[in-house]
């Protein structure tokens, strides 16, 4: 085990931790990893009773893992559930661009009001640290999802200096697209191909930043370990051309059934969709720090002595090298192996 892993293990040992959205793709794997660090208690707080039931069955042997049905829109319930907690990972959110576009008030109630409730509950109960999960869609947003996540980031940053906050440190992590997470483009393409339908691509030039679920979880765990309040942590990640991803998945399934070949269909950009994504604004880059794995936006109070000023001019998915199809294929095959969908 490397020194950072050893220190993180000591950091999480005997902690009481609440994970909002703990049955989601990221939340579930985050809980799994946290349990390896011997915390005193981990509470999964989420809305879906079916997902909680399945997760309870998988972790029936874990005496330090507990479950609570609840909604982050419910401030009173959050205030009750955060009593005595040392740490909160806030992963709960509405995340689908088209659904958020069509349901703006619901998205605001969850992504903004829900985040505000997490902040209020944490401050009231003097939780030591809160890590907010954000997204590259919060940078120069063109859609409801991005706008609400931008406001959520701002709320968590501002919460550090609120007059009634004397004990809680708030920080954020900013994700790219998480390869294979529920609701992402990979399961969509798989479902289209296995149903015999065309794989739909909205634009030939569309690019996205991608990270794996283990990378997303590792970033989140490191953020809580490093944070002193007010930081935003961003993983240095690869970009993928969506057309290349579609062609890799098309080739895989066409190789399995040469009699019924799956085509790729161009559909045009959806409302609120961008050709490329950004992980840092030009203004943020001027203040960002970096090491080999991360960029950090800091409030100048943290201990980031081993980081150096960022050496990039922009961080857009159309301006970094996209990984080739061989690497995409390896990612895809590993996803299938992990999820037993091959």
Active site residues: 137
DSSP structural state of residue 110: I
Rounded Cα–Cα distance for residues 314 and 280 (Å): 7
* Strand extents, DSSP E, 216-342: 232-235, 238-241, 264-266, 278-280, 289-290, 294-297, 308-309, 315-316
Q: Which two tokens stand for residue 26?
A: 């990221």
Rounded Cα–Cα distance for residues 284 and 280 (Å): 6
Burial 166-198 (b: 16+ CB within 10 A, else e): eebbbbbbbbbbbbbbeebbbbebbebbeeeeb
Q: Which two tokens stand for residue 205?
A: 């030039």
Assess contact for 331 and 249: CB atoms under 8 A. Answer: no
**Any bridge partners for residue 42, and if so which?**
17, 65
Q: Which two tokens stand for residue 106?
A: 């619901």
Burial 254-268 (b: 16+ CB within 10 A, else e): beeeeeeebebeeee
């Amino acid at each position: 085990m490397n020194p950072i892993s050893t220190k993180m293990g000591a950091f999480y040992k005997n902690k009481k931790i609440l994970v909002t959205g703990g049955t989601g793709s990221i939340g579930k794997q985050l809980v799994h990893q946290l349990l390896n660090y011997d915390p005193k208690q981990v509470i999964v707080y989420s809305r879906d009773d079916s997902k909680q039931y399945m997760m309870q069955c998988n972790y029936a042997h874990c005496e330090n893992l507990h479950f609570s049905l609840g909604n982050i829109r419910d401030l009173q319930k959050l205030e009750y559930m955060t009593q005595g907690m040392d740490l909160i990972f806030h992963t709960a959110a509405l995340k689908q661009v088209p659904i958020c576009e069509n349901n703006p008030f619901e998205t605001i109630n969850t992504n903004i009001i829900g985040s505000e409730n997490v902040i209020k509950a944490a401050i009231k109960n003097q939780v030591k640290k809160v890590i907010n999960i954000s997204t590259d869609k919060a940078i120069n947003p063109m859609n409801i999802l991005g706008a609400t996540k931008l406001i959520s980031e701002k709320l968590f940053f501002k919460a550090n200096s609120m007059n009634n906050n004397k004990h809680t440190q708030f920080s954020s992590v900013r994700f790219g697209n998480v390869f294979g997470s529920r609701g992402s483009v990979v399961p969509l393409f798989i479902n289209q191909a296995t149903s015999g339908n065309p794989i739909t691509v909205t634009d030939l030039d569309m690019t996205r930043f991608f990270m794996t679920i283990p990378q997303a979880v590792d970033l989140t765990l490191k953020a809580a370990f490093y944070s002193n309040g007010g930081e935003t942590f961003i993983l240095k990640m690869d970009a993928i051309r969506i057309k290349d991803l579609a062609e890799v998945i098309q080739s895989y399934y066409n190789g399995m059934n040469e009699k019924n070949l799956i085509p790729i269909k161009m559909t045009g950009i959806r409302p609120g969709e961008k050709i490329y994504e950004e992980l840092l604004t030009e203004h943020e880059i001027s203040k960002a720090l970096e090491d080999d794995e991360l960029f950090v936006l800091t409030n100048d109070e943290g201990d980031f002595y081993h980081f150096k000023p960022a050496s990039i001019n922009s961080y857009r998915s159309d301006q970094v090298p996209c990984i080739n199809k061989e690497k995409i294929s390896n990612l895809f095959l590993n996803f299938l192996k992990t999820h037993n969908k091959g």
